[in-house]
Structure 1
Amino acid sequence: MKKEFLVIVLVLCASFSFSQTTSEYVKISAQADKSAYRPGDTIKIAVIADISKPYHINSYKVSDPTLIPTSVKGLTEGIITEGVSYPADKKLKFEFTESEISVYEGKIVIGLLAKASQDIAEGPVYFKYSFDFQACDDKVCYSPKSLKDSIQIVITKTGSDIIISNSEVFNNLNFSESSQNFVKSEEIKGSKLTENERVSKPADSDSDIQDGIAGEGMFSALVIIFLGGLALNLTPCVYPLIPITLSFFGAQASGSKTQSILMGIFYALGMAVTYSTLGVIAALTGGILGTALQNPLVIIGIALIMAALGLSMFGLFEIRVPQSLAVMGNTNRSGYLGSLLMGLTVGFIAAPCIGPFVLSLLVYVGKVGDPFTGFLLFFVLAMGLGLPYIFLAAYSSSISKLPRSGEWMIGVKVIFGLILFGMALNILEPLIPKNVFAIVFPLYIILSGVYLLLIDRQGKNSAGYTTVKNIIAIAAVAAGTWILKPQSEASEVKWTMMNSIESINQSVKSEGKPVIIDFYADWCAQCKELDKYTYTDPEIVEMTKSFNNIKIDLTKENEAITSGFEIKGLPVVVFMGPDGKEYKELRVTGFLEPEEFKKRIESLEKNISAQ
């Protein structure tokens, strides 16, 4: 009788072991995969989020650090979270974004993988969890929210009457660590930005590459990376590999151009394998790589490596092609496998010179965290680096036509040494005050040009090299001078920052001008679009010069302002007369193109003049 009663209790627990919490944007509920668990058992929880129309929420993997990712975390002692399985996202383009962003819509299921501790007490346990998210619609983003709820599970010592439940839900969840949407517990960061916190976008050394891929699209980025791979063949420690490679092809091709071309292809594929593997590793260890590269000690270490490589270009020490590799060109490593292995080896040898470019790609791939993207970007880079060898393989007998590595090459090393020093300085940018870096970096470019023009005497017997060097030197001096010269201030609306209703009222009363109030937050993508496109329009800048322009930062929750101005989402732009009266019909909620914004200003001016 006692056993039957326990079975009934477990069945009832399985039937009622769910929770439900609702917000205006999302309704969450949870289900467990079993009616009960023993100490040490694996626990699977399905968190079901029903996203109301017309809203969407950011996915767990955001492309912009200022966006708020969706995050689920366990909060109960005795039940240890091991990881979270997130659903596949949707890539959608909105009118306020330059490129597609990763979002969730409709109903989604997030799997939470946990384990009951060995010393957990027997009986019912309420497993608490949090669901952090940021909701947006097509025009407005809302404040980040955190829903907290719990689900009742049962801990039993016997385990003889445990019942599998909710199979239809858990059959569609992938808790495998190899899944690209599974995040281990040590990698779970959650939302770093809530109503009571402010986060600004960190300065990243790879921002140019990241912005390029996000802004121009993947295809354009692949073209640029491919061309970059081609250009890397001109670096000092890659160029000497060309004659070695040609002698290798010449020894193996036996006069057959077709065989030489095929060997060149396998050679390039060997290089591609090296760098593609590097890209996949960077993607799979992205969390570790991204964290490490934000550490000041790591930044300094990388800068020192770049500086050391620069010193090697000036002859302090030399990076030589290993003798064993040089001998390869004359050994009997025949066949396509030999070409593949040769390409693999050259991929490693080329690393010291092409490191800075590869490092930037590694950082980007590590942040994206997608192995396929890592493979693709580095495969394209390697094919750009290896393409010349396919053509050179077909004409391996033409080695005598290549310029010899004579005095002019020593001069080229000096130029690359100066470039490496500049890269070291650029890597240190996040650690240098902005106003100091704005002077030091262009000054270094000018001094480098002066050094090449007036001091360096390498390659002076080569007329062609001397001409090219002087052109580079003059261009460096001109570029550094242009950068150092104070630029005319960017044309944009001038704002006065305020953070209270009292300061707003005081400003309106004392200024006696028409008022524009812009409400924004760091996590608001549409706010950034207004700043970038609308508030930089020359006509709008001119029109607002006679206005009292106020900007309110709502990254931190400010209940007095949001209630006082009835703000539910951002961005919001309010138009007032000199008397402080708002013209509600002119209120902007969401991104507005410059032409439409001008019409609001003109309407405000007409309303004021009509009084």
Structure 2
Amino acid sequence: MIARLCLLLLMLSCLLRPAQAELRPPEQVFIPQLRFEHPQQLRLQIRIEPGYYLYRDRFAATLDGQPVSLTLPAGETKDDPSFGRVQVYHKSVDILLPLSQPLTGPAQLQIRSQGCSETYKVCFPPHTRKWQLRPGGIVQPLDSKLPGLLGAHTNAAPSAALSFPSAQHPVSLWLTLGGFFLAGLLMAATVCMYPLIPIVSALIIGQHGETTRRARSFWLSMAYVQGLAISYTLAGLAAGSLGLPLTLWLQQPWVIASFALLMVLLALSLFGLYELQLPSGWQTRFNAWSNRMPGGRFLPVLVMGALSALIVGPCATPALAAALLFIAKSGDLWLGGLALYAMALGVGTPLLLIGVFGGHILPKTGAWMLAVKQLFGTLMLLVALWMASPILPPRLLMLLLATLLIVSAIYLSALDPLPTHNASGWRKLWKGLGVVLLVIGITQLLGAANGADDFRKPLGGLFRSAQAAPAPTLSFRQVQSPAELDQLRQQHPGQPVLLDFYADWCSSCIEMEHETFSDPAVQRKLQGVLLVRADVTANLPGHRALLARFGLFGPPGIILYDRSGQAQPPLIGFMPPEVFIAALRPLEA
């Protein structure tokens, strides 16, 4: 029963997302590092913050005005409703810039790129970043807004990777730490913890059989758990400190495939095909060493707690591997340490109780412990799918996900008939939840069979109209600068104004055109409103000045002026017709 509930929570947790953060400018979310690999090759590494992405085909580079070829890795396929299938980069990208010959003097490198925010559905205008290159591998940024740039032959991580996570996303931080703590509790529910019980007992009671007061037992047990936590925390700090380099390394297809295969092999061990553990001789010598250490003293207990991670480590390798990979991809040093510390506390909580109350409180072994291991095996398979998703064809990914969901649904008794009489409420609940997973799995199968390539919208193709949306009938007045906007408003005093920021490369802008501005109810609502559009496709100085006036980083964005000439807060991102109509209420005053 417990294992089934955990399995359900695991599946539902895949739908959770961090708390939405405010939109940030491109220089804060696309963080470059540039260095010479050798005199005729540069390497550009860009860390991409969560919720943002870069287009693969929007990269271009020049050296003193002459084009420079770029060696770009394969990106992730994104099904854009306006532009079709495009390749984008999430998390990070590693680009090589070969030079035809070594530098003989100073040269200016310019790299142009473009990205978007998935959260707000806002695309930034194309932006160019500049560096001064000098012989000898010297790289100097010419834009003071570029943080975390690297000089020649250095591997320092950008300073943004060291920011304390709670200051930016406190809700997401606590959810992450809580999830790692629960994962530690689940690890403690497996047989991995049982070899530690005699060690805890020997260290707390000592070798002379003396009795220990419960308060002292608590603090000795706490010292042991903190020692265990030290080992976990150091592992988390190491994974977090690697940050971008490890993430970029993990981006290589052969590395992704290798680690995904490793996750599958670890899952098979949890399903009982083979055992992962230290050699028995090592465990015997370790236990003998712990028996010789003096009990009842805090420092030896702390040290043994740290060393005990060697015993629980091999057994818990699947969960630890997934956790460390998650932390490495976050690139956050403090998050890595805190997350693994929380996991260690989860692992150590039962040990703390055993040290205080004795081993009699430990639950008996049984089928439920096997179910917990199978839960971790399912988790490993989910991790394998997540890791392999960038290199798997979308339909194959959907088929594998469907298989996993359907098998999990069968495990939850989705296909088992309920007894006619005396079916317990729990059994009905598990069957109902299993049916939900079964339906989701079947939708993935149907989507793959129908040609869908996004597991988040498996049936999107079934309801997509084969014909393009009708052309918009609204007529906009065009402006190219703040001065033109002010002049146009002065020519229409007392009239409400709608200023729309648009660009040809903005998919959400095109979506607004096809779905919102073409809606009859929206068009009726905009009667009598002066419609103004700033087409910032070319990203001219006047366009940038207009965006800066309203604190926008790119389209889509809409500014409303009421009849008194007061500008309302910007409307950012795509809005369906009903939401947009509600946002137009200030124009009615």
Q: TM-score, normalised by structure 1?
A: 0.51
Partner of 1:328: 287
Distance (Å, rounded) in 2 between the aligned partners of 1:264 and 1:237: 18
Amino acid at match of 2:276: I
Secondary structure at 2:293 match in 1: coil
| Aligned position for 1:345 | 307
How many angstroms apart in 2 are the aligned matches of 1:591 and 1:392?
55
Q: Which amino acid aligns with 1:377?
A: A
Deviation, structure 1 residue 144: 1.0
Pairs within 5 Å for 1:192-341: 214=169, 216-239=171-194, 241-242=196-197, 245-246=200-201, 248-251=203-206, 254-256=210-212, 257-320=214-277, 322-323=279-280, 324-325=282-283, 328=287, 331-334=291-294, 335-341=297-303
Shift of 1:282: 1.7
Question: What CA deviation, in whole Å up to 9, does each residue of 1:144-171 have, x standing for no partner?
Answer: 1234668999xxxxxxxxxxxxxxxxxx
Structure 1 residue 351 displacement after superposition: 3.3
Structure 1 residue 318: Cα displacement: 1.7
Task: Say whether the 8 Å CA contact 2:408–2:437 is kept in structure 1.
Answer: no
2:352 maps to a residue whose letter is I
Corresponding residue number in structure 1 for 2:538? 559
How do 1:90-489 residues align onto structure 2 when only pairs under 5 Å count? Answer: 126=106, 128=108, 142-147=125-130, 183=150, 185=152, 214=169, 216-239=171-194, 241-242=196-197, 245-246=200-201, 248-251=203-206, 254-256=210-212, 257-320=214-277, 322-323=279-280, 324-325=282-283, 328=287, 331-334=291-294, 335-352=297-314, 354-396=316-358, 399-406=359-366, 409-410=369-370, 412-450=372-410, 474=431, 477-484=434-441, 486=443
Distance 1:145 1:485, change over 3 A: same
CA contact (8 A) 1:277 1:375 kept: yes
Alpha-carbon displacement from aligned partner over 1:407-436 (angstroms, at most 9, x marks no partner)? 654455455445544543444333333344
The one-letter code matched in structure 1 to 2:347 is L
CA separation of 1:225 and 1:185: change in aligned 2, threshold 3 A: farther
C-alpha contact (below 8 Å) 2:188/2:347 kept by paired residues:
yes
Distance 1:238 1:531, change over 3 A: farther
CA contact (8 A) 1:127 1:152 kept: no
State, as a whole percentage, how many aligned pairs show the same letter: 20
| Distance in 1 separating the partners of 2:42 and 2:348 | 46
Kept in 2, the 8 Å contact 1:57–1:135? The answer is no
- Per-residue deviation at 1:468? 12
**Does the CA-based 8 Å contact 1:238-1:353 persist in structure 2?**
no
CA contact under 8 A between 1:268 and 1:390: conserved in structure 2? yes
1:237 and 1:359 map into 2 onto residues whose CA distance is 15
| In 2, Cα distance between equivalents of 1:521 and 1:255 | 78
Aligned mates of 2:271, 2:39 — CA distance in 1? 59
Work out whether residues 220 and 298 of structure 2, in 8 Å CA contact, stay in contact via their aligned partners in 1. yes
Q: Give the match's secondary structure for 1:430.
A: coil
1:571 counterpart residue number = 555
Distance across 1 between alignment mates of 2:270 and 2:425 = 18
1:299 alignment partner AA = I
CA contact (8 A) 2:34 2:151 kept: no
1:500-538 per-position Cα deviation (integer Å, ceiling 9, x unaligned): xxxx9xx74xx657789873699x9xx98x999x99x99
Q: Secondary structure at the match of 1:285?
A: helix
Residues 94-135 of structure 1, C-alpha deviations (whole Å, 9 max, x = no match): xxxxxxxxxxxxxxxxxxxxxxxxx999xxx64646698999
Is the CA contact 1:83–1:185 (under 8 Å) kept in the aligned structure 2? no
Q: Tell me the distance in 1 between the aligned counterparts of 2:465 and 2:566.
A: 23
- Which residue does 2:572 correspond to in 1? 591
| C-alpha RMSD of matched pairs (Å) | 6.2
Q: How far apart, in 2, do the equivalents of 1:599 and 1:452 lie?
A: 44
The CA distance in 1 between the partners of 2:42 and 2:229, in whole Å, is 39
Does the 8 Å contact 2:192/2:312 carry over to 1?
yes
Residue 290 of structure 1: how far off its partner (Å): 0.5
Q: 8 Å contact 2:106–2:133 — kept in the other structure?
A: yes
Residues 336-370 of structure 1, C-alpha deviations (whole Å, 9 max, x = no match):
33322332233233334544554454345434544
Q: 1:268 Cα deviation (Å)?
A: 1.4
Per-residue CA distance 1:556-608 (angstroms, 9 max, x = gap): x9539999999866214589xxxxxxxx999997627969942676899x9xx
Q: TM-score, normalised by structure 2?
A: 0.52
Q: Distance in 2 between matches of 1:588 and 1:471?
A: 50
Whole-Å Cα distance in 1 between the matches of residues 389 and 571 of structure 2?
Answer: 34
The 1:382–1:572 alpha-carbon spacing in structure 2 relative to 1, beyond 3 Å, is: same
Size of the aligned set, in residue pairs, is 418
Q: Which amino acid aligns with 1:328?
A: N
Q: Which of 67-76 and 322-331 deviates more?
A: 67-76
| Structure 1: stretches of 5+ with no match in the other structure | 1-55, 85-90, 92-118, 154-172, 174-179, 192-209, 457-466, 499-503, 576-583, 607-611
The answer as to whether partners of 2:502 and 2:555 remain within 8 angstroms in 1 is yes
Distance 1:311 1:217, change over 3 A: closer
Q: Supply the AA of the counterpart residue of 1:316.
A: L
Structure 1 position 274, deviation (Å):
1.0
Preserved contact between residue 128 and residue 150 of structure 1 (Cα < 8 Å): yes
1:294/1:495 Cα in 2 relative to 1: closer, same or farther (>3 Å)? farther
- Residues 190 and 369 in structure 2, CA contact (< 8 A), matched pair in contact too: no
Residues 360, 538 of structure 1: CA spacing in aligned structure 2 closer, same or farther, 3 A cutoff?
A: farther
Name the structure 2 match of 1:519. 502
CA contact (8 A) 1:276 1:376 kept: yes
Unaligned runs of at least 5 residues, structure 2: 1-23, 50-101, 117-121, 137-143, 159-164, 417-423, 444-456, 477-497, 526-532, 548-552, 560-564
SS of the residue corresponding to residue 275 of structure 2 reads coil
3-state SS in 2 of match to 1:254: coil
CA drift of 1:73 comes to 6.6
